[in-house]
């Protein structure tokens, strides 16, 4: 293909969803470019598959509710099971300030139409997850409709669905340069290897590498990669697959069960924001193993040493919210990145909304003002998230 109506840079779950939804809105000659050799090698392949609407900002709650609607229809729409399991998310507070933060988030969730979440006292929290050590638990919040999904199944569903609608997807195809007549003008061609492909529009869905892609087009966007590590135990049959995702608000430690293994995650303050640093830190593994066994004592019997650990990159924006819409300074470059660790769960909504923006000039499924890529220059930002 030497001409594309739109080139989507990045065939992760966000780019795949964007391509799928653009094709569904009637766009033709869509080209998806990914420099990796195969699907799922970026952040999407590292994600553990949490899904929740328990957020602290209206915009993230609305994104989750829209995504949930899309996910519930995903199988009939794409033919692929997204693995949606409503096992619940249980947040635990050990400090009064954390309980207050959960209450404030619950108020936002209600205001945004998410009524399933509610405050629970310590006794109820421990009944929802009896494996938790009661030590220090003051109470928490729970929503039974939050839970899990399968990131690679969603990626597969969107890629295959996009192809069925005529989208061309090229792996091993790195976008290295963008041709523009003048600094404020549109992009008219994308370079891949020695080839220049003429384009009508470009979508930057390059996840944690979105700033690099923007920079190749002469633009600066505030999206930074941030390492996140995950640990999976060897198979462990003592916890049910339906155990809710359980999160301690104070340090963000969280645990769940996936495919018979326990997954334990915890953010590390001061983690390197260097995209080349996707390596697992052995001291993080021993810390998170110890903490997992303190918080869920039954995990003293789990074999983490014989399990696996991996690291991937979040795509952080300054306010923890996605950048969605036309890039300031380049009318036909659209951004769909910066989800700050929530990109899989929000991809079904982001792709739909981007297709609305690119087709009709504005999103109709929800108010996306808080995701406007121009907000940082204008000094407008939403509050940061709990996690």
Ligand X SMILES: Cc1cc2nc3c(=O)[nH]c(=O)nc-3n(C[C@H](O)[C@H](O)[C@H](O)COP(=O)(O)OP(=O)(O)OC[C@H]3O[C@@H](n4cnc5c(N)ncnc54)[C@H](O)[C@@H]3O)c2cc1C
Residues 30/16, Cβ–Cβ less than 8 Å: no
CB of 45 to ligand X, least distance (A): 7
Measured from the CB atom, is 101 or 278 closer to ligand X?
Answer: 278
Measured from the CB atom, is 239 or 313 closer to ligand X?
Answer: 313
Residues 233/302, Cβ–Cβ less than 8 Å: yes
Closest of 331, 324, 320, 307 to residue 386, by C-alpha: 320
Measured from the CB atom, is 56 or 126 closer to ligand X?
Answer: 56
Extract the runs of DSSP E, i.e. beta strands, from 25-99: 30-34, 50-51, 89-93
Measured from the CB atom, is 157 or 208 closer to ligand X?
Answer: 208
Distance between start and end Cα atoms, the chain:
42
Measured from the CB atom, is 93 or 230 closer to ligand X?
Answer: 230
Measured from the CB atom, is 171 or 376 closer to ligand X?
Answer: 171
Measured from the CB atom, is 88 or 207 closer to ligand X?
Answer: 207
CB of 214 to ligand X, least distance (A): 10
CA 316/CA 224 separation, integer angstroms: 5
CB of 271 to ligand X, least distance (A): 11
| Burial of 130: CB neighbours in 10 Å, binned 0-12, 13-18, 19+ | exposed
CB of 352 to ligand X, least distance (A): 15
CB of 332 to ligand X, least distance (A): 17
Measured from the CB atom, is 30 or 137 closer to ligand X?
Answer: 30
* Residue 11, CA distances (Å) to 16, 152, 177, 323 in order: 5, 12, 18, 17
CA atoms within 13 A on the CB side of 246: 27
Chain residues in the site for ligand X (CB under 6 A): 9-15, 33-36, 41-44, 46-50, 174-175, 205-209, 213, 228, 230, 312-315, 337, 339, 341-345
Name the β-bridge partners of 118.
142
CB of 202 to ligand X, least distance (A): 11
CB of 44 to ligand X, least distance (A): 3
Local structure of residue 85 (DSSP, 8 states): B
CB of 9 to ligand X, least distance (A): 5
Q: Which helix (H) or strand (E) holds 214?
A: helix 210-216
CB of 96 to ligand X, least distance (A): 28
Q: Determine how many CB atoms are found less than 10 A away from the CB of residue 25.
A: 14
Q: Which helix (H) or strand (E) holds 363?
A: none
Residues 374/243, Cβ–Cβ less than 8 Å: no
* Residue 362, CA distances (Å) to 41, 58, 371 in order: 32, 19, 12
Asked whether the CA dihedral 69, 348, 222, 358 is positive or negative, the reply is negative
Measured from the CB atom, is 43 or 54 closer to ligand X?
Answer: 43
| Residue length of the chain | 387
The radius of gyration of the chain's CA atoms, rounded to the nearest angstrom, is 21
């Amino acid at each position: 293909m030497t001409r594309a109506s739109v080139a989507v840079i990045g065939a992760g779950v966000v780019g795949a969803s964007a391509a799928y939804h653009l094709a569904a809105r009637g766009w033709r000659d869509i080209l998806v470019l990914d420099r990796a050799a195969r699907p799922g090698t970026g952040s999407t392949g590292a994600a553990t598959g949490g899904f929740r609407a328990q957020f602290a900002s209206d915009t993230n709650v609305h994104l989750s509710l829209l995504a949930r609607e899309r996910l519930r229809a995903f199988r009939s729409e794409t033919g692929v099971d997204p693995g949606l399991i409503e096992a619940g998310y249980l947040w635990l507070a050990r400090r009064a300030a954390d309980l207050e933060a959960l209450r404030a988030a619950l108020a936002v969730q209600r205001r945004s139409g998410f009524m399933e979440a509610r405050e629970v006292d310590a006794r109820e929290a421990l009944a929802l997850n009896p494996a938790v050590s009661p030590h220090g638990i003051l109470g928490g919040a729970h929503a039974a409709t939050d839970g899990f999904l399968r990131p690679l199944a969603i990626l597969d569903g969107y890629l295959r669905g996009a192809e069925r609608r005529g989208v061309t997807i090229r792996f091993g195809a790195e976008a290295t340069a963008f041709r523009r007549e003048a600094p404020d003008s549109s992009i008219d061609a994308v370079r891949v290897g020695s080839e220049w492909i003429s384009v009508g529009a470009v979508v930057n869905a390059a996840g944690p590498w979105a700033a690099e892609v923007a920079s190749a087009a002469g633009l600066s966007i505030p999206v930074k990669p941030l390492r996140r590590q995950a640990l999976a135990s060897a198979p462990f049959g003592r916890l049910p697959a339906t155990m809710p995702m359980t999160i301690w608000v104070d340090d963000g430690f969280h645990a769940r069960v996936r495919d018979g293994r326990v997954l334990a995650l915890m953010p590390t303050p001061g983690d390197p924001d260097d995209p080349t640093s996707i390596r697992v830190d052995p001291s993080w593994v021993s810390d998170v193993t110890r903490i997992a066994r303190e918080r869920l004592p039954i995990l003293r019997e789990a074999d983490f040493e014989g399990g696996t650990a991996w690291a991937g990159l979040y795509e952080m924006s300054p306010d923890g919210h996605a950048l969605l819409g036309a890039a300031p300074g380049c009318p036909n470059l659209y951004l769909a990145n910066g989800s700050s660790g929530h990109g899989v769960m929000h991809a079904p909504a982001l792709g739909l909304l981007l297709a609305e923006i690119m087709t009709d000039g504005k999103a109709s499924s929800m108010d996306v003002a808080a995701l406007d890529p121009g907000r940082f220059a204008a000094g407008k930002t939403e509050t940061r998230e709990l996690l």
